[in-house]
Chains A and B, each alone.
Chain A
Amino acid sequence: MNEFCVELRDVVKRFPTPEGSEVFAVDHVTMQIKNGEFFSMLGPSGCGKTTSLRMVAGFEWPTVGEVYIEGEAMGRRPPYLRPVNTVFQSYALFPHMSVAENVAYGLEMEKTPKYEIKRRVGEILEMVKLSGMERRKPRQLSGGQQQRVALARALVKHPKVLLLDEPLGALDLKLRKEMQLELKALQQEVGITFVYVTHDQEEALTMSDRIAVMDHGRVLQIGAPVEIYERPNSRFVADFIGETNFLSGEARAIEEDRVTVYIPSLKDELVGAKAAPVNVGDQVVVSMRPEKIRLASDRALPQNCFSGIVLNTAYIGSDTRVIVDLGGAPLAVWEQNKISTLDPEAYYAPGEQVWVVVLPENALVLQDV
Chain B
Amino acid sequence: MNPHRRSPLVIVSTVLVYFFLYAPVVVLFLFAFNSSKTNVLFEGFITQVGPTEIVSGNVIRSPCGAFHWFCELARNVEVRNAARNTLTIAFVSTITSTIIGTLAAIALQRYSFRLKTFSEVSLYIPIVIPEIVMGIGILVLFSQLFTLLNNTLSLSGDSQLTLGLGTVIVSHIAFSIPFVTLVVRARLHGFDKAIEEASMDLGANEIITFWRVTLPSIMPGVLSGALLAFTLSLDDFVITFFTTGPGASTLPIYVYGLLRRIVTPQVNALSAVWISIVLVVVFFTQRLQSRQM
Contacts and interface: CB of A to CB of B under 8 A. Distances in A.
Q: Do chains A and B touch in the complex (CB under 8 A)?
A: yes
Interface of A: 57-59, 78-80, 84-86, 88-90, 92-96, 105-106, 109-110, 153-154, 157
Contacts of B197: 57, 59, 79, 86, 88, 92
Given A90-B194, A94-B217, A96-B216, A105 B201 contact: no
Interface of B: 192, 194-195, 197-206, 208, 212-213, 216-217, 219, 292-293
Contacts of A109: 202-204, 208
B194 A106 contact: no
Nearest to B202: A106
A105 B202 contact: yes
A113 B212 CA distance: 19
A124 to B, nearest CB: 13
Nearest to B204: A109
B217 A95 contact: yes
Given A94-B217, A96-B293, A109-B208, A80 B195 contact: no
Contact of A94 (B201, B203, B205, B213): B213
Nearest to B213: A94
B202 A85 contact: yes
A110 B204 CA distance: 9
Contacts of B199: 94, 105
13 contacts: A59-B197, A59-B200, A79-B200, A79-B201, A85-B201, A88-B197, A92-B197, A94-B199, A95-B217, A96-B216, A96-B292, A109-B203, A157-B203
A186 to B, nearest CB: 19
Nearest to A18: B112
Contact of A57 (B201, B212, B217, B292): B201
A369 to B, nearest CB: 36
A154 B192 CA distance: 18
B203 A92 contact: no
Nearest to B205: A80
Contacts of A79: 197, 200-201
Contacts of A96: 216-217, 219, 292-293
Looking at B194, B197, B203, the one whose CB has the most chain A CB atoms below 10 A away is B203
Contacts of A85: 201-202
Nearest to B200: A79
B136 to A, nearest CB: 40
B194 A92 contact: yes
Nearest to B208: A109
A149 to B, nearest CB: 11
Given A59-B200, A109-B208, A157-B202, 4 more contacts: A79-B197, A79-B200, A89-B194, A96-B216
A182 B198 CA distance: 23
A157 B200 CA distance: 13
Contact of B195 (A57, A84, A89, A94): A94
B151 to A, nearest CB: 51
